[in-house]
Chain A
Amino acid sequence: MSFKPFDAEALVAAAAEMLQLKIPAAQRDGVRSQLKTAAKMAALVEQVKLADDTEPAPVYRP
Protein backbone atom coordinates (compact mmCIF):
# COMPACT_ATOMS: atom_id res chain seq x y z
CA MET A 1 0.00 0.00 0.00
CA SER A 2 1.40 3.43 -0.89
CA PHE A 3 0.54 6.66 0.87
CA LYS A 4 -0.02 9.94 -0.94
CA PRO A 5 1.54 13.00 0.65
CA PHE A 6 -1.02 14.27 3.12
CA ASP A 7 -1.95 17.74 4.31
CA ALA A 8 0.01 17.83 7.53
CA GLU A 9 -1.00 21.42 8.29
CA ALA A 10 -4.67 20.48 8.23
CA LEU A 11 -4.02 17.64 10.66
CA VAL A 12 -1.97 19.85 12.98
CA ALA A 13 -4.65 22.53 13.00
CA ALA A 14 -7.52 20.14 13.65
CA ALA A 15 -5.72 17.95 16.19
CA ALA A 16 -4.31 20.92 18.10
CA GLU A 17 -7.83 22.24 18.56
CA MET A 18 -9.19 18.84 19.60
CA LEU A 19 -6.33 18.29 22.09
CA GLN A 20 -6.39 21.89 23.35
CA LEU A 21 -2.80 22.46 22.35
CA LYS A 22 -1.77 26.02 21.58
CA ILE A 23 1.02 25.62 19.05
CA PRO A 24 2.55 28.89 17.83
CA ALA A 25 2.83 29.19 14.06
CA ALA A 26 6.63 29.22 14.29
CA GLN A 27 6.61 25.78 15.92
CA ARG A 28 4.31 24.09 13.42
CA ASP A 29 6.98 23.31 10.85
CA GLY A 30 8.71 20.94 13.24
CA VAL A 31 5.47 19.17 14.11
CA ARG A 32 4.57 18.79 10.43
CA SER A 33 7.99 17.34 9.75
CA GLN A 34 7.56 14.79 12.56
CA LEU A 35 4.13 13.82 11.27
CA LYS A 36 5.55 13.20 7.82
CA THR A 37 8.20 10.92 9.32
CA ALA A 38 5.49 9.12 11.30
CA ALA A 39 3.44 8.66 8.12
CA LYS A 40 6.40 6.93 6.46
CA MET A 41 6.74 4.66 9.48
CA ALA A 42 3.02 3.89 9.41
CA ALA A 43 3.30 2.95 5.74
CA LEU A 44 5.97 0.39 6.63
CA VAL A 45 3.76 -1.06 9.34
CA GLU A 46 0.79 -1.17 6.99
CA GLN A 47 2.76 -3.22 4.49
CA VAL A 48 2.88 -6.19 6.86
CA LYS A 49 -0.21 -8.34 6.38
CA LEU A 50 -1.53 -9.71 9.66
CA ALA A 51 -4.39 -12.07 10.34
CA ASP A 52 -7.50 -10.35 11.66
CA ASP A 53 -7.30 -12.32 14.87
CA THR A 54 -3.73 -11.23 15.66
CA GLU A 55 -3.71 -10.12 19.27
CA PRO A 56 -2.24 -6.74 20.10
CA ALA A 57 0.47 -6.46 22.74
CA PRO A 58 -0.50 -3.45 24.83
CA VAL A 59 1.37 -4.77 27.87
CA TYR A 60 4.30 -6.75 26.67
CA ARG A 61 5.34 -9.99 28.34
CA PRO A 62 8.40 -11.69 26.93
Chain B
Amino acid sequence: MKPTASAAAIAAAVGKGEVKARAVVEAALARIAKHNETLGAFTDITAQRALARADAVDLAIAGGGKAPPLAGVPFAAKNLYDIEGVVTRAGSKINRSNRPAGKDATLIQRLEFAGAILVGATNMDEYAYGFTGENAHDGPSRNPHDTERMTGGSSAGSAAATAAGLVPLSLGSDTNGSIRVPASFCGLFGLKPTYGRLSRARTYPFVASFDTLGPLARSTRDLALAYDAMQGFDDDDPAQTKRPMEPTDARLKHPIPGIRIAIAGGYFAGDAEVQAHVAHVTRALDAARVVTIPDAAAARAAAFLITMTEGAALHLERLRTRLDDFDPEVRDRLLAGAMLPAAWTGKAQKLRRDFREKVLALFADVDAILAPVTPMHAPHIGQKLAKLGGVEMALRPHLGVFTQPFSFIGLPVVTVPVWLPGATLPMGVQIIAAPWREDIALRIAHQLEQAGAVSAPVAKAFAI
Protein backbone atom coordinates (compact mmCIF):
# COMPACT_ATOMS: atom_id res chain seq x y z
CA MET B 1 0.00 0.00 0.00
CA LYS B 2 1.29 3.46 -0.90
CA PRO B 3 1.88 5.76 2.06
CA THR B 4 -0.20 8.32 0.17
CA ALA B 5 -3.31 6.12 0.11
CA SER B 6 -6.67 7.54 1.18
CA ALA B 7 -7.99 7.12 4.70
CA ALA B 8 -10.73 4.82 3.41
CA ALA B 9 -8.19 2.59 1.62
CA ILE B 10 -5.90 2.45 4.65
CA ALA B 11 -8.77 1.60 7.00
CA ALA B 12 -10.01 -1.13 4.67
CA ALA B 13 -6.55 -2.70 4.34
CA VAL B 14 -5.76 -2.48 8.06
CA GLY B 15 -9.22 -3.78 8.92
CA LYS B 16 -8.73 -6.84 6.71
CA GLY B 17 -5.29 -7.47 8.14
CA GLU B 18 -3.61 -6.87 4.77
CA VAL B 19 -1.33 -4.28 6.31
CA LYS B 20 -0.40 -3.43 9.88
CA ALA B 21 -1.30 -0.08 11.39
CA ARG B 22 2.30 0.11 12.65
CA ALA B 23 3.61 -0.10 9.08
CA VAL B 24 1.24 2.66 7.96
CA VAL B 25 2.25 4.90 10.84
CA GLU B 26 5.97 4.21 10.36
CA ALA B 27 5.63 5.15 6.70
CA ALA B 28 3.82 8.38 7.59
CA LEU B 29 6.45 9.28 10.18
CA ALA B 30 9.21 8.61 7.65
CA ARG B 31 7.57 10.92 5.11
CA ILE B 32 7.11 13.61 7.74
CA ALA B 33 10.79 13.34 8.70
CA LYS B 34 11.77 13.60 5.04
CA HIS B 35 9.58 16.49 3.96
CA ASN B 36 8.71 18.57 6.99
CA GLU B 37 11.70 20.88 6.74
CA THR B 38 10.62 21.81 3.22
CA LEU B 39 6.94 22.19 4.05
CA GLY B 40 6.89 23.65 7.56
CA ALA B 41 3.80 21.57 8.18
CA PHE B 42 4.36 20.03 11.62
CA THR B 43 5.42 21.77 14.82
CA ASP B 44 5.20 18.68 17.04
CA ILE B 45 5.53 15.03 16.07
CA THR B 46 3.98 12.48 18.42
CA ALA B 47 5.87 9.44 17.14
CA GLN B 48 6.06 7.43 20.35
CA ARG B 49 2.38 7.84 21.09
CA ALA B 50 1.44 7.08 17.48
CA LEU B 51 3.41 3.85 17.38
CA ALA B 52 1.93 2.71 20.69
CA ARG B 53 -1.58 3.35 19.41
CA ALA B 54 -0.82 1.60 16.13
CA ASP B 55 0.26 -1.46 18.07
CA ALA B 56 -2.99 -1.31 20.04
CA VAL B 57 -5.02 -1.16 16.81
CA ASP B 58 -3.08 -4.11 15.38
CA LEU B 59 -3.55 -6.10 18.58
CA ALA B 60 -7.30 -5.50 18.60
CA ILE B 61 -7.67 -6.57 14.97
CA ALA B 62 -5.45 -9.62 15.43
CA GLY B 63 -7.66 -10.54 18.36
CA GLY B 64 -10.65 -10.75 16.06
CA GLY B 65 -12.27 -7.50 17.07
CA LYS B 66 -14.38 -5.56 14.58
CA ALA B 67 -12.19 -3.09 12.75
CA PRO B 68 -13.13 0.52 13.49
CA PRO B 69 -13.95 2.78 10.51
CA LEU B 70 -10.62 4.62 10.54
CA ALA B 71 -8.38 1.74 11.60
CA GLY B 72 -4.73 2.71 11.33
CA VAL B 73 -5.34 6.04 9.57
CA PRO B 74 -2.64 8.59 10.46
CA PHE B 75 -3.90 12.12 11.01
CA ALA B 76 -2.60 15.50 12.10
CA ALA B 77 -4.22 18.25 14.17
CA LYS B 78 -3.70 22.00 14.03
CA ASN B 79 -1.66 23.05 17.04
CA LEU B 80 -4.61 24.71 18.75
CA TYR B 81 -6.02 21.25 19.59
CA ASP B 82 -4.99 19.97 23.02
CA ILE B 83 -2.77 16.90 22.83
CA GLU B 84 -2.02 15.22 26.13
CA GLY B 85 1.55 16.00 27.16
CA VAL B 86 2.08 18.66 24.47
CA VAL B 87 1.90 22.42 24.97
CA THR B 88 -0.99 23.87 22.94
CA ARG B 89 0.85 26.73 21.30
CA ALA B 90 -2.00 27.95 19.04
CA GLY B 91 0.63 29.32 16.72
CA SER B 92 1.93 31.68 19.38
CA LYS B 93 5.18 32.24 21.23
CA ILE B 94 3.27 33.31 24.33
CA ASN B 95 1.36 30.07 24.90
CA ARG B 96 4.59 28.10 24.95
CA SER B 97 4.89 29.22 28.55
CA ASN B 98 1.76 27.20 29.36
CA ARG B 99 1.78 23.72 30.84
CA PRO B 100 1.36 20.74 28.50
CA ALA B 101 -2.25 19.75 27.95
CA GLY B 102 -3.58 17.19 30.41
CA LYS B 103 -6.06 15.59 28.04
CA ASP B 104 -6.71 15.35 24.30
CA ALA B 105 -9.27 17.55 22.56
CA THR B 106 -12.61 15.77 22.16
CA LEU B 107 -12.27 15.50 18.37
CA ILE B 108 -8.87 13.85 18.68
CA GLN B 109 -10.34 11.39 21.19
CA ARG B 110 -13.18 10.61 18.81
CA LEU B 111 -10.97 10.04 15.78
CA GLU B 112 -8.75 7.77 17.83
CA PHE B 113 -11.78 5.91 19.17
CA ALA B 114 -12.58 5.28 15.49
CA GLY B 115 -9.11 3.79 15.03
CA ALA B 116 -7.26 6.80 13.58
CA ILE B 117 -3.80 7.62 14.91
CA LEU B 118 -2.52 11.11 15.70
CA VAL B 119 1.00 11.66 14.37
CA GLY B 120 1.50 15.31 15.30
CA ALA B 121 0.43 18.92 15.61
CA THR B 122 0.58 21.35 12.71
CA ASN B 123 1.69 24.91 12.05
CA MET B 124 -0.83 27.74 11.90
CA ASP B 125 -1.20 31.51 11.83
CA GLU B 126 -0.73 32.95 15.29
CA TYR B 127 -3.90 32.53 17.37
CA ALA B 128 -5.70 31.58 14.12
CA TYR B 129 -5.80 35.26 13.16
CA GLY B 130 -4.61 35.07 9.55
CA PHE B 131 -5.25 33.58 6.14
CA THR B 132 -1.66 33.26 4.89
CA GLY B 133 -0.08 30.42 6.87
CA GLU B 134 2.96 32.59 7.59
CA ASN B 135 3.84 32.07 11.23
CA ALA B 136 6.28 34.62 12.67
CA HIS B 137 7.70 32.14 15.18
CA ASP B 138 7.68 28.78 13.39
CA GLY B 139 8.12 30.04 9.84
CA PRO B 140 5.66 29.71 6.98
CA SER B 141 3.94 26.54 5.91
CA ARG B 142 4.67 25.99 2.22
CA ASN B 143 2.21 24.99 -0.44
CA PRO B 144 3.11 21.48 -1.69
CA HIS B 145 1.98 22.40 -5.23
CA ASP B 146 4.53 25.24 -5.31
CA THR B 147 6.66 25.65 -2.23
CA GLU B 148 7.30 29.31 -3.00
CA ARG B 149 3.61 29.94 -2.43
CA MET B 150 1.39 30.24 0.63
CA THR B 151 -0.69 27.38 1.91
CA GLY B 152 -3.30 29.82 3.12
CA GLY B 153 -4.39 29.75 6.73
CA SER B 154 -4.91 29.58 9.41
CA SER B 155 -5.03 25.74 9.21
CA ALA B 156 -1.82 25.97 7.19
CA GLY B 157 0.24 22.99 8.28
CA SER B 158 -2.80 20.71 8.23
CA ALA B 159 -3.36 21.62 4.58
CA ALA B 160 0.32 21.25 3.68
CA ALA B 161 0.56 17.84 5.36
CA THR B 162 -2.55 16.56 3.61
CA ALA B 163 -1.79 17.97 0.15
CA ALA B 164 1.75 16.53 0.29
CA GLY B 165 0.41 13.11 1.24
CA LEU B 166 2.15 13.03 4.62
CA VAL B 167 -1.24 12.15 6.11
CA PRO B 168 -4.56 11.44 4.38
CA LEU B 169 -6.53 13.42 6.91
CA SER B 170 -6.05 16.43 9.16
CA LEU B 171 -7.99 18.62 11.53
CA GLY B 172 -8.31 22.37 11.28
CA SER B 173 -10.47 25.13 12.65
CA ASP B 174 -12.56 27.62 10.74
CA THR B 175 -13.63 30.95 12.23
CA ASN B 176 -13.74 33.09 9.10
CA GLY B 177 -12.43 30.66 6.49
CA SER B 178 -9.43 28.95 8.08
CA ILE B 179 -10.28 25.49 6.74
CA ARG B 180 -11.68 26.72 3.43
CA VAL B 181 -8.89 29.12 2.39
CA PRO B 182 -6.02 26.60 2.81
CA ALA B 183 -8.18 23.91 1.21
CA SER B 184 -8.59 26.21 -1.79
CA PHE B 185 -4.90 27.09 -2.10
CA CYS B 186 -3.66 23.54 -1.49
CA GLY B 187 -6.29 21.76 -3.58
CA LEU B 188 -8.12 19.83 -0.87
CA PHE B 189 -11.60 18.96 0.20
CA GLY B 190 -12.54 20.70 3.44
CA LEU B 191 -15.58 20.64 5.67
CA LYS B 192 -16.60 23.57 7.84
CA PRO B 193 -19.56 22.16 9.76
CA THR B 194 -22.55 24.10 11.07
CA TYR B 195 -21.69 26.21 14.10
CA GLY B 196 -22.41 24.06 17.14
CA ARG B 197 -22.25 20.73 15.29
CA LEU B 198 -18.88 19.37 16.48
CA SER B 199 -17.40 19.73 19.93
CA ARG B 200 -14.69 22.34 20.37
CA ALA B 201 -13.75 21.12 23.84
CA ARG B 202 -10.08 21.50 24.68
CA THR B 203 -9.13 23.57 21.69
CA TYR B 204 -7.78 27.11 21.88
CA PRO B 205 -10.47 29.63 20.88
CA PHE B 206 -10.32 32.64 18.61
CA VAL B 207 -13.79 34.15 18.12
CA ALA B 208 -15.96 31.91 20.24
CA SER B 209 -19.20 32.90 18.53
CA PHE B 210 -17.83 31.90 15.10
CA ASP B 211 -15.36 29.10 15.87
CA THR B 212 -15.90 25.68 14.28
CA LEU B 213 -13.64 22.66 13.83
CA GLY B 214 -13.49 20.28 10.91
CA PRO B 215 -11.45 18.00 8.66
CA LEU B 216 -9.36 18.45 5.50
CA ALA B 217 -8.80 15.48 3.20
CA ARG B 218 -8.05 14.42 -0.38
CA SER B 219 -11.44 12.78 -0.94
CA THR B 220 -15.05 13.37 0.03
CA ARG B 221 -15.23 9.84 1.41
CA ASP B 222 -12.41 10.60 3.84
CA LEU B 223 -14.12 13.82 4.87
CA ALA B 224 -17.36 11.95 5.53
CA LEU B 225 -15.64 9.16 7.49
CA ALA B 226 -13.89 11.68 9.72
CA TYR B 227 -16.96 13.85 10.14
CA ASP B 228 -19.12 10.88 11.10
CA ALA B 229 -16.54 9.71 13.65
CA MET B 230 -16.45 13.16 15.27
CA GLN B 231 -20.19 13.75 15.64
CA GLY B 232 -22.02 13.45 18.94
CA PHE B 233 -22.88 15.69 21.86
CA ASP B 234 -20.20 16.68 24.32
CA ASP B 235 -21.01 18.33 27.64
CA ASP B 236 -17.56 19.92 27.61
CA ASP B 237 -18.48 22.39 24.84
CA PRO B 238 -21.15 24.82 26.06
CA ALA B 239 -21.79 26.10 22.53
CA GLN B 240 -22.49 22.70 21.03
CA THR B 241 -26.09 22.02 20.01
CA LYS B 242 -27.65 18.75 21.15
CA ARG B 243 -28.52 16.91 17.97
CA PRO B 244 -28.72 13.26 17.03
CA MET B 245 -25.88 11.68 15.07
CA GLU B 246 -26.49 12.21 11.37
CA PRO B 247 -24.04 9.90 9.56
CA THR B 248 -23.14 10.86 6.01
CA ASP B 249 -20.78 8.20 4.70
CA ALA B 250 -23.41 5.57 3.95
CA ARG B 251 -25.50 8.09 2.01
CA LEU B 252 -22.67 9.76 0.15
CA LYS B 253 -23.34 7.94 -3.09
CA HIS B 254 -27.08 8.49 -3.04
CA PRO B 255 -28.10 11.18 -5.49
CA ILE B 256 -30.49 13.82 -4.20
CA PRO B 257 -33.57 13.76 -6.46
CA GLY B 258 -34.56 17.17 -7.76
CA ILE B 259 -31.73 18.93 -6.01
CA ARG B 260 -31.83 22.71 -6.42
CA ILE B 261 -28.42 24.30 -6.73
CA ALA B 262 -27.86 28.04 -7.19
CA ILE B 263 -24.84 30.20 -7.81
CA ALA B 264 -24.11 33.19 -5.59
CA GLY B 265 -23.99 36.25 -7.81
CA GLY B 266 -23.15 39.91 -7.35
CA TYR B 267 -20.66 40.30 -4.49
CA PHE B 268 -19.42 36.74 -5.09
CA ALA B 269 -18.73 37.08 -8.81
CA GLY B 270 -14.99 37.64 -8.40
CA ASP B 271 -12.42 38.24 -11.13
CA ALA B 272 -12.32 36.29 -14.39
CA GLU B 273 -10.10 33.48 -13.08
CA VAL B 274 -12.35 33.05 -10.05
CA GLN B 275 -15.42 32.95 -12.27
CA ALA B 276 -13.82 30.28 -14.43
CA HIS B 277 -13.44 27.95 -11.44
CA VAL B 278 -17.01 28.45 -10.28
CA ALA B 279 -18.27 28.02 -13.86
CA HIS B 280 -16.42 24.70 -14.07
CA VAL B 281 -18.43 23.40 -11.12
CA THR B 282 -21.74 24.88 -12.22
CA ARG B 283 -21.36 23.21 -15.62
CA ALA B 284 -20.65 19.86 -14.02
CA LEU B 285 -23.77 20.20 -11.88
CA ASP B 286 -25.86 21.70 -14.66
CA ALA B 287 -26.69 24.60 -12.34
CA ALA B 288 -27.75 27.89 -13.84
CA ARG B 289 -29.86 29.74 -11.34
CA VAL B 290 -28.18 32.76 -9.78
CA VAL B 291 -29.17 34.06 -6.36
CA THR B 292 -28.17 37.30 -4.73
CA ILE B 293 -26.97 37.04 -1.16
CA PRO B 294 -28.35 40.27 0.27
CA ASP B 295 -26.00 42.61 2.17
CA ALA B 296 -23.05 40.25 1.65
CA ALA B 297 -20.42 43.02 1.71
CA ALA B 298 -21.87 44.43 4.90
CA ALA B 299 -22.08 40.96 6.43
CA ARG B 300 -18.44 40.35 5.68
CA ALA B 301 -17.58 43.75 7.19
CA ALA B 302 -19.60 42.93 10.29
CA ALA B 303 -17.77 39.62 10.65
CA PHE B 304 -14.49 41.53 10.34
CA LEU B 305 -15.46 43.90 13.17
CA ILE B 306 -16.77 41.21 15.52
CA THR B 307 -13.60 39.21 14.90
CA MET B 308 -11.43 42.18 15.83
CA THR B 309 -13.28 42.90 19.06
CA GLU B 310 -13.79 39.32 20.26
CA GLY B 311 -10.18 38.53 19.43
CA ALA B 312 -9.00 41.61 21.30
CA ALA B 313 -11.11 40.78 24.33
CA LEU B 314 -9.58 37.30 24.43
CA HIS B 315 -6.02 38.61 24.32
CA LEU B 316 -6.27 41.96 26.14
CA GLU B 317 -4.24 40.93 29.17
CA ARG B 318 -1.51 39.44 26.97
CA LEU B 319 -1.47 42.66 24.94
CA ARG B 320 -0.72 44.50 28.19
CA THR B 321 1.97 42.18 29.45
CA ARG B 322 3.56 40.44 26.43
CA LEU B 323 3.10 42.86 23.57
CA ASP B 324 6.48 42.21 22.01
CA ASP B 325 5.90 38.46 21.93
CA PHE B 326 3.04 38.70 19.42
CA ASP B 327 3.43 38.35 15.68
CA PRO B 328 3.44 42.06 14.69
CA GLU B 329 0.70 41.54 12.07
CA VAL B 330 -1.58 39.90 14.63
CA ARG B 331 -0.64 42.34 17.39
CA ASP B 332 -1.69 45.40 15.39
CA ARG B 333 -5.09 43.95 14.55
CA LEU B 334 -5.75 42.90 18.13
CA LEU B 335 -4.70 46.29 19.47
CA ALA B 336 -6.97 48.05 17.00
CA GLY B 337 -9.76 45.61 17.88
CA ALA B 338 -9.54 46.61 21.52
CA MET B 339 -10.21 50.21 20.53
CA LEU B 340 -13.27 49.85 18.31
CA PRO B 341 -16.40 51.70 19.39
CA ALA B 342 -18.97 49.32 20.89
CA ALA B 343 -21.65 50.90 18.70
CA TRP B 344 -19.95 49.41 15.64
CA THR B 345 -19.98 45.88 16.96
CA GLY B 346 -23.46 46.33 18.40
CA LYS B 347 -24.73 47.16 14.94
CA ALA B 348 -22.69 44.29 13.51
CA GLN B 349 -24.43 41.86 15.88
CA LYS B 350 -27.83 43.15 14.81
CA LEU B 351 -26.84 42.83 11.18
CA ARG B 352 -25.82 39.26 11.88
CA ARG B 353 -29.31 38.34 13.00
CA ASP B 354 -30.90 40.19 10.08
CA PHE B 355 -28.51 38.68 7.54
CA ARG B 356 -29.19 35.20 8.91
CA GLU B 357 -32.93 35.61 8.34
CA LYS B 358 -32.38 36.79 4.77
CA VAL B 359 -30.00 33.98 3.85
CA LEU B 360 -32.09 31.27 5.51
CA ALA B 361 -35.04 32.48 3.43
CA LEU B 362 -33.05 31.65 0.29
CA PHE B 363 -32.86 28.02 1.39
CA ALA B 364 -36.63 27.73 1.03
CA ASP B 365 -36.02 27.63 -2.73
CA VAL B 366 -32.54 26.13 -3.02
CA ASP B 367 -30.71 23.24 -1.37
CA ALA B 368 -27.19 24.51 -1.90
CA ILE B 369 -25.40 27.65 -3.05
CA LEU B 370 -22.08 27.72 -4.91
CA ALA B 371 -19.53 30.48 -4.34
CA PRO B 372 -15.78 30.90 -4.76
CA VAL B 373 -13.53 30.30 -1.75
CA THR B 374 -10.66 32.67 -2.44
CA PRO B 375 -10.32 35.71 -4.69
CA MET B 376 -7.14 34.30 -6.29
CA HIS B 377 -4.74 31.36 -6.49
CA ALA B 378 -2.21 30.88 -3.71
CA PRO B 379 -0.08 34.05 -3.47
CA HIS B 380 3.68 33.94 -3.08
CA ILE B 381 5.08 33.70 0.44
CA GLY B 382 5.82 37.19 1.69
CA GLN B 383 3.43 38.82 -0.79
CA LYS B 384 1.74 41.83 0.79
CA LEU B 385 -0.37 43.25 -2.03
CA ALA B 386 -2.71 41.79 -4.64
CA LYS B 387 -4.87 43.08 -7.46
CA LEU B 388 -8.53 42.45 -6.87
CA GLY B 389 -11.10 43.80 -9.27
CA GLY B 390 -8.24 45.62 -11.01
CA VAL B 391 -7.31 47.51 -7.84
CA GLU B 392 -4.14 46.86 -5.89
CA MET B 393 -4.87 46.33 -2.21
CA ALA B 394 -3.48 44.75 0.95
CA LEU B 395 -3.57 40.97 0.58
CA ARG B 396 -4.15 39.76 4.15
CA PRO B 397 -7.52 41.34 4.90
CA HIS B 398 -9.01 40.24 1.59
CA LEU B 399 -8.35 36.51 1.45
CA GLY B 400 -11.56 35.83 3.37
CA VAL B 401 -13.92 38.04 1.41
CA PHE B 402 -15.92 35.09 0.08
CA THR B 403 -15.77 32.86 3.15
CA GLN B 404 -16.61 35.29 5.95
CA PRO B 405 -20.27 35.97 5.05
CA PHE B 406 -21.14 32.27 5.47
CA SER B 407 -19.25 31.49 8.67
CA PHE B 408 -20.70 34.75 10.04
CA ILE B 409 -24.04 32.94 10.26
CA GLY B 410 -22.67 29.49 11.01
CA LEU B 411 -23.60 27.70 7.78
CA PRO B 412 -22.03 24.37 6.82
CA VAL B 413 -19.73 24.47 3.79
CA VAL B 414 -17.79 21.87 1.84
CA THR B 415 -14.90 23.17 -0.23
CA VAL B 416 -14.10 21.32 -3.46
CA PRO B 417 -10.78 21.67 -5.32
CA VAL B 418 -10.94 22.68 -8.97
CA TRP B 419 -8.08 22.19 -11.43
CA LEU B 420 -8.79 23.89 -14.72
CA PRO B 421 -7.24 22.23 -17.80
CA GLY B 422 -3.48 22.77 -17.79
CA ALA B 423 -3.51 24.53 -14.42
CA THR B 424 -0.56 24.18 -12.07
CA LEU B 425 -2.47 25.56 -9.10
CA PRO B 426 -5.93 24.70 -7.78
CA MET B 427 -8.69 26.94 -6.53
CA GLY B 428 -11.64 25.94 -4.38
CA VAL B 429 -15.37 26.39 -4.72
CA GLN B 430 -17.72 26.51 -1.74
CA ILE B 431 -20.85 24.36 -1.55
CA ILE B 432 -22.97 26.06 1.09
CA ALA B 433 -25.98 24.35 2.63
CA ALA B 434 -28.66 25.24 5.16
CA PRO B 435 -27.83 24.73 8.85
CA TRP B 436 -27.29 21.08 9.78
CA ARG B 437 -27.31 19.94 6.12
CA GLU B 438 -23.66 18.94 5.88
CA ASP B 439 -25.01 15.81 4.20
CA ILE B 440 -26.25 17.80 1.21
CA ALA B 441 -22.96 19.64 0.72
CA LEU B 442 -20.99 16.40 1.06
CA ARG B 443 -23.19 14.54 -1.44
CA ILE B 444 -22.87 17.29 -4.03
CA ALA B 445 -19.11 17.31 -3.50
CA HIS B 446 -19.03 13.53 -3.89
CA GLN B 447 -21.06 13.74 -7.09
CA LEU B 448 -18.56 16.24 -8.50
CA GLU B 449 -15.65 14.03 -7.45
CA GLN B 450 -17.20 10.94 -9.02
CA ALA B 451 -17.76 12.86 -12.24
CA GLY B 452 -14.08 13.86 -12.29
CA ALA B 453 -14.90 17.56 -12.09
CA VAL B 454 -12.96 18.05 -8.86
CA SER B 455 -10.01 16.19 -7.39
CA ALA B 456 -7.31 16.46 -4.77
CA PRO B 457 -4.21 14.64 -5.98
CA VAL B 458 -1.08 14.50 -3.85
CA ALA B 459 1.19 17.32 -4.99
CA LYS B 460 3.47 16.07 -7.78
CA ALA B 461 6.72 16.90 -6.01
CA PHE B 462 5.67 14.74 -3.07
CA ALA B 463 3.89 11.93 -4.93
CA ILE B 464 5.33 8.44 -4.93
Chain B: CB-nearest residue to A62? B435
Q: Which of A21, A33, A50, A55 contacts B338 (CB 8 A)?
A: A21
Q: How distant is the Cα of A56 from the Cα of B348 in the complex, in angstroms?
A: 8
User: Across the two chains, which residue of chain A brings its CB closest to B239?
Assistant: A59
The 6 A-B pairs at the shortest CB distance, nearest first, are namely: A62-B435, A30-B332, A34-B336, A56-B349, A41-B301, A15-B339
CB-defined contacts of B229 to chain A, threshold 8 Å: none
Q: How many residues of A contact B (CB 8 A)?
A: 35
Q: How far is the CA of A56 from the CA of B305 in the complex (A)?
A: 14
Does the CB pair B347–A46 fall under 8 Å?
yes
B16 interfacial contact with A, CB 8 Å: no
Query: Given that A47-B298, A54-B353, A56-B352 are known contacts, is A62 also in contact with B346, CB under 8 Å in the complex?
Result: no
- Contact: A56 with B338, CB < 8 Å? no
Q: Say yes or no: B339 contacts A35, CB within 8 Å.
A: yes
**B332 in contact with A34 (CB, 8 Å):** yes
Query: Nearest chain B CB to A11's CB is how many angstroms away?
Result: 6
Among A22, A33, A42, A45: residue with most chain B CB under 10 A? A45
Other A-B pairs, 10, CB within 8 Å; known A37-B304, A45-B301, A61-B196: A21-B320, A30-B331, A35-B336, A41-B301, A45-B351, A48-B295, A55-B350, A57-B350, A59-B209, A62-B195
B379 CB to nearest A CB, Å: 18
Contact sample, A vs B, 30 pairs, CB 8 Å cutoff: A15-B338, A16-B339, A21-B323, A23-B335, A30-B331, A31-B332, A34-B333, A34-B335, A37-B304, A37-B336, A37-B397, A38-B337, A42-B341, A42-B347, A45-B301, A46-B347, A47-B298, A50-B350, A55-B350, A56-B350, A56-B353, A57-B352, A57-B356, A58-B209, A59-B209, A60-B195, A60-B210, A62-B241, A62-B356, A62-B435
Q: Is B336's CB under 8 angstroms from A55's CB?
A: no
Q: Are A62 and B335 touching (Cβ within 8 A)? A: no
User: Chain B interface (Cβ within 8 Å of chain A)?
Assistant: 194-196, 209-210, 239, 241, 295, 297-298, 301-302, 304-305, 308, 316, 319-320, 323, 328-329, 331-333, 335-341, 344, 346-354, 356, 394, 397, 409-411, 435-436
* A45–B338 touching, CB < 8 Å: no
Cβ A22 vs Cβ B323 within 8 A: yes
CA distance A12 to B308 in the complex (A): 15
Choose among A11, A35, A50, A62 the residue that contacts B436 (Cβ–Cβ < 8 A).
Answer: A62
Q: Which residues from 1 to 54 on chain A have a C-beta closer than 8 Å to any C-beta of chain B?
A: 11-12, 15-16, 19-23, 27, 30-31, 33-35, 37-38, 40-42, 44-48, 50, 54
Q: Identify the closest chain A residue to B209 (Cβ).
A: A60
Please report A residues at the B interface, Cβ cutoff 8 Å. Answer: 11-12, 15-16, 19-23, 27, 30-31, 33-35, 37-38, 40-42, 44-48, 50, 54-62
- Tell me the bound Cα distance from A58 to B210 in angstroms: 10
Residues on B with beta carbons closer than 8 Å to the beta carbon of A33: 332
Residues of the A chain whose Cβ atoms lie less than 8 Å from the Cβ of B305: 38, 41-42, 45
Which residues in A have their C-beta under 8 angstroms from that of B316?
Answer: 19
In whole angstroms, what is the CA distance A23 to B410 when docked?
A: 35
Q: List residues of chain B with CB within 8 A of the CB of A60.
A: 195, 209-210, 352, 356, 409-410
Let me know if B353 and A57 touch, CB within 8 A.
yes
Set of chain B residues within 8 Å of A19, measured between Cβ atoms: 316, 320, 338-339
Cβ–Cβ contact A48 & B332, under 8 A = no
B348 touches A12 (CB 8 A): no
B326 to A: closest C-beta gap in Å: 10
Considering only CB atoms, which chain A residue lies closest to B294 in the complex?
A48
